[in-house]
A and B are shown apart, each in its own frame.
Chain A
Amino acid sequence: MKETFFRTMTWLHTWVGLLVCWVLLLVFFAGTVSYYRYEISLWTQPELHSEVFQHYQENHLEQQLAQGQDYLELHAENAKDWRINLPIERKPYLSYSWQTQPKAGQRRGEFIEHVVKTNDQGVVTETRDSKGGNFFYRLHFDLHYMPAKIARWIVGFCTMFMLLALISGIVIHKRIFKDFFSFRRNKGSRSWLDAHNVSSVLALPYHLMITYTGLITLMMMYMPWGVLTAYDGDTRAFRAELNPGREQVKPVGISADMVQINTLLPLVKSYWGETPIKQVVVTNLNDQNSRISFYKNTQQAVTDKRIPLVFSGVTGKLVSDIPDSPSATHATHDTLMSLHTARFSEPLLRVFFFICGIMGCAMIATGTLLWAVKIRQKQQKNIKNGAKPSLGLRLVEGLNLTFIAGLPVATCSFFYANRLLPTEMANRAQWEVNCFFITLTLVAMLACINRTQTSWRFVLRFGAIGLLAIPALNALTSNSHLINNISQQQWALVGFDMMCVLLGGALWFASNKLANKISLSTSSSPAKHKANITPKLASQITSTKGA
């Protein structure tokens, strides 16, 4: 298209990246945050911050299952299913949950979860209505305020753009090794380019992996054509062959007494040995066809498959097949899926995944900031003569401010809403989410009026103060504060507070750099001012000059 392939790829990289980068940033950001989905969910339910934490205890299992079954029989007699959730590393509590019978016209009933207090002190039945970490998890492929199907197509489309941008980016990055070791600070757009290169190249395998596996997680939706040709479009048959354990039996309508769940434990142990159990699910309650499924805690195994041991609830006989070791194809697919979800990663590895995710956000953010700086330089002469920056530039700068500076603030407001909205409020969970988007909209409105460094500094400071105060918020609105959590070794809660402080500090640092820059630009000559600019600020260099 251009004179050379290289130039074409440069052009492609710029435009493919720029067109969808804000959606991508939202997806990357929400996806990165949802590496700590359970930890966030735990933090957003302060009712659970004391009296419920426990480890998995093999020798209490029998008793826990018996108590669970009694409890569910008493409180959830007419439910659609029962679940007994045993403590795992990231959800350190025992809970009984059930799904009520779906109302007419709905596919699913309501999910209710009661968490068991330790030392036989009863159960916690009332937790605040909140989406917690699941909000971010859903946001990263279902977006919000729109049907999930449309959102997934939008996200898939943007992911394909991302893949294209990554490949074309690698092609145009001729001096990939040389540039890898060079970072030129204080050099305006050159610094932005270096920052873009560093964040891209350093985590390049991660970026490629997460983008491609992202497409693969939803490929049944994006590329159903194989099923169409090989199975004549019978998706159900394909899925059944893919996951034989997933088939669900229907109730026959003949009532029958169920066995005690804990009597099945020796049988489960004979198959799984000492592997901890994660969940027990009972379906078709008190029916001839009732089923009791055991799910194991896959721990650090790189797998995303939930292969249960299924027993008949009436006879206690095993009805599921023991799967053979998976074929190469299935293993590849499973590995790709679990690389994306990273369920296997223990705390240290999870931190690395999180850092890589942040690098991805940085890659996207520096890319679009770089574009804005370059275009502003191009238009500098006209702007100096009093002309307005072009519409495209204003749009990009506005969206940059909204998404790059706005996302951390919006996330912060979600946490504040979680703690400050009255617990008995109607539609509470939805209002927390609304707060997230209202904040984002407010930043967008600010961006419509003013896109200079003053706005950037204001939004960044706002986010920084909000995040730095999270431990205080937690201390004031829950019954356990940071010191308390440290002494009780509640690392999920401690980690949440510390992470907020760390990110808040980073935002404060960035806003301070901007503050130095502004005071410089009013007092010094342009030449000197240029020399004092840090990479973070370079994007705005020309905007103050223009003003």
Chain B
Amino acid sequence: MVLANCKFRALFATKGFDISSRALAAIFGGYIVAATACGLLSLSLPLPKAESVLVAMMLSFLFYLAAALWSFSVRKNWQAWRDLLCISTLLYLIILVVG
């Protein structure tokens, strides 16, 4: 049990794990951030409906970009997951409240 635990720890500490974790956070976590931001902006922008959807969609890629950069610049890879998931959950909750 202890041994398995050690191996687990070692796996988490490898460079490969670090990179894959960040990459997955950037790709999927980033997409969720972009998607929720897009959804929220569509609802909350002070424009006619179709226009706010358009603006939200056009801007969403910038959120994706920022999120991807973020997940590679934080110090530890779990922080990337934490930040992106927190932000997207928050955004989603606001969508539930507003929508």
Interfacial residues, chain A to chain B (CB-CB below 8 A): 1, 5, 8, 12, 160, 163-164, 167-168, 212, 215-216, 219-220, 222-223, 225-231, 238, 241-242, 327, 329-330, 332-333, 336
Contacts and interface: CB of A to CB of B under 8 A. Distances in A.
B72 to A, nearest CB: 5
Interface string B14-51: 00001000100000000000111011111100011111
A219 B58 contact: yes
Contacts of A222: 61
Interface residues of B, number: 36
B64 interface: yes
A160 B61 contact: yes
A505 B23 CA distance: 42
B89 interface: no
A229 B95 contact: yes
Given A223-B61, A336-B58, 14 more contacts: A1-B75, A5-B73, A160-B61, A212-B61, A219-B61, A223-B60, A225-B36, A226-B54, A227-B42, A231-B53, A241-B49, A329-B55, A330-B51, A332-B58
B47 to A, nearest CB: 6
A241 B60 contact: no
A163 B65 contact: yes
Contacts of A332: 58
A163 B53 contact: no
Contact of A223 (B38, B49, B50): B38
A226 B51 CA distance: 11
Contacts of B77: 1
Greatest chain A CB density within 10 A among B35, B40, B41, B72 is at B72
A164 B58 contact: no
A229 B42 contact: yes
16 contacts: A1-B73, A1-B75, A164-B68, A167-B69, A223-B35, A223-B38, A226-B57, A229-B40, A229-B43, A230-B42, A230-B52, A231-B53, A241-B50, A329-B55, A333-B58, A336-B58
| Those 5 A-B pairs whose CB atoms lie nearest each other, nearest first | A226-B42, A329-B51, A229-B39, A226-B53, A230-B42
B84 interface: no
Interface of B: 18, 22, 34-36, 38-43, 47-58, 60-61, 64-65, 68-69, 72-75, 77, 95, 99
B60 to A, nearest CB: 5
Contacts of A238: 50, 53
Given A238-B50, A241-B49, A327-B51, A215 B61 contact: yes
Nearest to A157: B27
A226 B75 CA distance: 32
A163 B64 CA distance: 10
Contacts of A226: 38-39, 41-42, 52-54, 56-57, 60
Contacts of A160: 61, 64-65, 68
B58 to A, nearest CB: 6
A29 B71 CA distance: 31
A164 B51 CA distance: 27
A347 B23 CA distance: 43
- Looking at chain A's contact residues, the main secondary structure is helix
A1 B72 contact: yes
B69 A227 contact: no
A216 B47 CA distance: 20
Contacts of A330: 51, 54
B64 A242 contact: no
Nearest to A164: B68
Contact of A329 (B47, B64, B68, B73): B47
Given A1-B18, A332-B58, A230 B53 contact: yes
A219 B60 contact: yes
Most buried by B among A167, A222, A238: A222
Contact of B35 (A12, A225, A241): A225
A215 B82 CA distance: 27
A228 B74 CA distance: 31
Given A1-B73, A225-B35, A241-B50, A164 B43 contact: no
A483 B72 CA distance: 58
Contacts of B22: 1
A336 B57 CA distance: 13
A219 B57 contact: yes
Nearest to A1: B72
A40 B18 CA distance: 48
Given A223-B57, A225-B35, A242 B50 contact: yes
A1 B78 CA distance: 11
Given A163-B61, A167-B69, A225 B54 contact: no
Nearest to B15: A1
B44 to A, nearest CB: 10
A167 B66 CA distance: 10
A231 B49 contact: yes
Nearest to B37: A225
Contacts of A336: 58
Contacts of A329: 47, 51, 54-55
B61 A225 contact: no
Interface centre among B35, B36, B49, B54 (most CB of A within 10 A): B54
A47 to B, nearest CB: 43
Contacts of A220: 57
Contacts of A164: 65, 68-69
